[in-house]
């Protein structure tokens, strides 16, 4: 069963972004309709093709919510670190403020014991705000040098402490907001996945078998398209022209952008390390929000793979798609990132011959699969990250 499904507007591919003339999703829908019997009169159960499409949509929505969760989690983590740093700073400055207050207190006590006609240093200790202290600065002209220094230190510490306390308060407010965003995204993911499981649980054994057959045919078609692209890649490497004429061929229609970077030896070396890492993760479960080492979601896997090659990628698909240069599908090289869907909610790492390694969806495992696993219309772009 397809993990994703989204119709796209017919058009052409520009700089690696494809919108084909006839969406694969539409072809699949026709095939489903031809194989699914009409519902009996009065039967309000959804048809098999409706279930298949709805489940695919729910998985897509869950993946979109997962990327929002990943972004909120990253933001929350950074904000929590900032809050911790500010609170530590406030504690340190409060300690210094107390020390400055104690020094002023010692002068006030000495004045009380001796009855000296010196300025009342204690008035500074009664000030509630920095402004109160500044309003009394005229008495400094009658103070000793050490007293003046003590007052200056006290004013500085009080001002800085109050400033940091305000920053900490604002950061705590922001942290609360990001935590709320995190909770909302998490609840959305869980709801979409629960809805998908509920729909699948209502299928009969026969319907599940038919869905499995549909999925198998889709995989066979995806494999055929990958084989076409592999032949085109081989022809390009040999300096010839691909003889492939299949309707699903995408490479010959692409025109590489002028600034597309060549896959030089330096890139190839990094890509080899990234791919070696990705291959080592095959068989590990997809878990939304996971970044390894025991499980991954799609962007968590690509981020970890390229990190193993010494390249730092952002956490989410939304940011990863901008972390490199877009190239046409026909110019894809091993290590490139393959992004899917108009809302850029899925990503895999290209391994060549029309294949990629990716973490597909909940209930599946990291695996090698055709980049056409959900039809060529699903491919959004190819990005070279280093």
DSSP calls for 43-81 = --SPPHHHHHHHHHHHHHHHHHHHHHHHHHHHHHHHHHH
Return the closest-CA partner of residue 253 out of 21, 24, 28.
Answer: 21
Give the model's confidence band at 50: pLDDT under 50 very low, under 70 low, under 90 confident, else very high.
confident
Phi/psi of residue 350, each to 5°?
-70, 140
Convert the pLDDT of each residue in 238-280 to its tens digit: 775 444 434 343 433 344 454 555 556 789 999 999 999 999 9
Provide mean pLDDT across the span 31-50.
Answer: 55
The residue that leads in pLDDT, 316 or 35, is 316
Q: Is the pLDDT of residue 141 over 90?
A: no
First to last CA, the chain: 34
pLDDT score at 293:
96
Give the model's confidence band at 41: pLDDT under 50 very low, under 70 low, under 90 confident, else very high.
very low
**Strand 337-340 to 325-327 pairing:** unpaired
CB neighbour burial string for 32-47, b if at least 16 within 10 angstroms, e if fewer: beeebeeeeeeeeeeb
Convert the pLDDT of each residue in 54-70 to its tens digit: 988 999 899 999 999 99
Provide mean pLDDT across the span 111-133.
Answer: 55
Rounded Cα distance, 384 and 386, in Å: 6
Provide mean pLDDT across the span 298-302.
Answer: 97
- The pTM (predicted TM-score) of the whole model is 0.68
Give the model's confidence band at 118: pLDDT under 50 very low, under 70 low, under 90 confident, else very high.
very low
Segment (H or E) for 156: helix 145-201
Residues identified as active-site? 298, 346, 358
């Amino acid at each position: 069963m397809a993990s994703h499904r989204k119709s796209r507007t017919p058009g052409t591919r520009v700089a690696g972004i494809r919108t084909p003339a006839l969406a694969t999703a539409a072809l699949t829908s026709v095939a489903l309709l031809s194989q699914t019997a009409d519902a009996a009169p009065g039967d309000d159960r959804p048809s098999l093709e409706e279930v298949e499409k709805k489940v695919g949509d729910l998985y897509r929505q869950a993946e979109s919510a997962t990327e929002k969760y990943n972004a909120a989690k990253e933001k929350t983590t950074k904000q929590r670190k900032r809050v911790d740093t500010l609170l530590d700073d406030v504690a340190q400055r409060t300690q210094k403020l107390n020390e400055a207050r104690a020094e002023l207190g010692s002068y006030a006590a000495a004045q009380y014991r001796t009855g000296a006609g010196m300025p009342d240093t204690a008035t500074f200790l009664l000030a509630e705000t920095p402004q109160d202290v500044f309003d009394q600065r005229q008495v400094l002209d009658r103070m000793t040098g050490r007293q003046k220094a003590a007052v200056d230190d006290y004013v500085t510490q009080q001002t800085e402490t109050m400033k940091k306390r305000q920053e900490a308060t604002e950061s705590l407010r922001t942290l609360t907001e990001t935590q709320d965003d995190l909770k909302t995204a998490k609840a959305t993911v869980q709801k979409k996945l629960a809805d998908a499981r509920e729909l699948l649980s209502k299928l009969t054994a026969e319907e599940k078998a038919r869905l499995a057959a549909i999925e198998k045919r889709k995989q066979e078609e995806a494999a055929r398209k990958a084989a076409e692209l592999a032949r085109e890649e081989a022809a390009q490497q040999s300096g010839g022209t691909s003889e492939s004429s299949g309707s699903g061929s995408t490479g010959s229609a692409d025109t590489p952008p002028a600034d597309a970077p060549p896959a030089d030896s330096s890139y190839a070396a990094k890509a080899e390390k990234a791919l070696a890492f990705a291959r080592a993760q095959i068989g590990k479960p997809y878990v939304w929000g996971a970044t390894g080492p025991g499980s991954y979601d799609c962007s968590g896997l690509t981020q970890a793979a390229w990190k193993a090659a010494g390249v730092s990628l952002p956490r989410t698909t939304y940011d990863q798609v901008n972390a490199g240069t877009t190239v046409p599908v026909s110019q894809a090289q091993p290590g490139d990132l393959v992004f899917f869907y108009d809302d850029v909610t899925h990503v895999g790492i290209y391994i060549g011959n029309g294949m990629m390694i990716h973490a597909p969806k909940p209930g599946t495992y990291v695996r090698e699969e055709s980049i056409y696993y959900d039809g060529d219309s699903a491919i959004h772009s190819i990005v070279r990250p280093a």
